[in-house]
Amino acid sequence: MNVLAIDGGASTAKWCIQDPNGKTLINQSSGPLSGHIFSSSAQKENESKLQDICQQAQKVAPISKVIAGISGLDSKSSQAKWMREIIKKSLKTKDVLISDDLFFVYLGLAIPGKEFLVYAGTGCIGYHLTREYNVLRANGYGYLIDDCGGGFWIGQQALRAWLRSMETMNPKMSVLNSKLADKFGSKDWNAIRQKVYRGGREIIASLAKEVNCAATLGDPIALKILHEAGVEIGKLSNRLFDMTELKQAKMYLIGGVANCVDFLDTSLQSNLNSGIKYSTVNSNNAEIMASVLKKYSFEQLNRLI
């Protein structure tokens, strides 16, 4: 029973295949996948990317089961049914589980009713399943509304600070500013604007890497941005913790922003409720999803979705 696990993220999608013994046969990345399918163009893009993943997977090994977690997807929605049919048709398999990505990642990492996770990728969301498998969540409203502390937010703060610095008579070329200039290949707003508005949230979220790199070199603006991200993640964690009504809980910090934990840790720790103990998870989310079928049967998961 080879399992194809698809982690559909807003900036990039990742997928892996695991054999019956849980050995990963391949790890790959592709363009972003999203459950926010509200236009014909978004539908076409998602269909093409899903079909491409399925075609590539078939070349590696026969696929008997699929577990697909797509960012922002409602498992009961028409979009979920539509995506499931694309996968079934592409792989000629009926055993396809599809839901939002955090549902499967949570089950792979945490104990329902006792633990929760904060996913800080492009966006930022707190997620908990009760003992009855009901979802409690905080934030995750998308970059147009909130998601403070996520990759988009971090990149946005850096881009804003850089552009504002260039409005001064004698702009300083700090470490962070230099890295952003290298990223965009220009300091001219017209060139930057074109790349930003063509690239959208993906390119802005990708700037979190430049911020982290600048922070390692002591850039004060980068350090300040990541300090504030830690504060926001701490506040988010507390809001979800209050919703659970637990006295103590373990929190798993996952997603690309977890790579910045060296600079988040102090502000995150100082803003966390004393009943929360957190740890960082740097594992591939697709592999975490695939592992869920070792903890739960296909039938159990199908009932829970």
| CATH number of the domain within which 77 lies | 3.30.420.40
Contacts of 286 by beta carbon, 8 Å cutoff, 6+ apart:
5, 6, 7, 14, 15, 16, 27
**Residues 151 and 193 grouped into a single domain:** yes
Q: Is residue 280 part of a domain?
A: no
Domain count for the chain: 2
Contacts of 244 by beta carbon, 8 Å cutoff, 6+ apart:
116, 128, 130, 136
**Residues 113 and 176 grouped into a single domain:** yes
Q: Is residue 279 part of a domain?
A: no
**Residues 95 and 176 grouped into a single domain:** no
**Residues 38 and 88 grouped into a single domain:** yes
Query: In this prediction, what percent of the chain has a pLDDT beyond 70?
Result: 100
- Paired with 18 in beta bridges are 3, 24
Q: Is residue 189 part of a domain?
A: yes
Chain centre to alpha carbon of residue 186: 29
**Residues 83 and 130 grouped into a single domain:** no
Q: Is residue 217 part of a domain?
A: yes
pLDDT tens for residues 89-99? 999 999 999 99
pLDDT tens for residues 223-256? 999 999 999 999 999 999 999 999 999 999 999 9
Can you give the pLDDT at residue 35? 79
Determine how β-strand 13-18 pairs with β-strand 96-99.
unpaired
**Residues 46 and 11 grouped into a single domain:** yes
Helix (H, G, I), strand (E, B) or coil at 56: helix
**Residues 131 and 53 grouped into a single domain:** no
pLDDT surpasses 80 at 108: yes
**Residues 181 and 66 grouped into a single domain:** no
pLDDT surpasses 80 at 113: yes
Q: State the pLDDT confidence band at 139, using cuts at 50, 70 and 90.
A: very high
> In angstroms, rounded to a whole number, what is the distance separating the alpha carbons of residues 146 and 203?
18
Q: Is residue 239 part of a domain?
A: yes
Can you give the pLDDT at residue 33? 85
> In angstroms, rounded to a whole number, what is the distance separating the alpha carbons of residues 91 and 4?
10
pLDDT tens for residues 252-297? 999 999 999 999 999 999 999 999 999 999 878 999 999 999 899 9
**Residues 157 and 52 grouped into a single domain:** no
**Residues 233 and 177 grouped into a single domain:** yes
Can you give the pLDDT at residue 143? 86
Tell me which residue range forms the domain holding 43.
3-99+285-304
**Residues 24 and 153 grouped into a single domain:** no
Q: Tokens for 124, please give them.
A: 């930022």
- Nearest partner of 121 among 144, 142, 103, judged by Cα: 142
**Residues 258 and 114 grouped into a single domain:** yes
Q: Is residue 87 part of a domain?
A: yes
Can you give the pLDDT at residue 67? 96
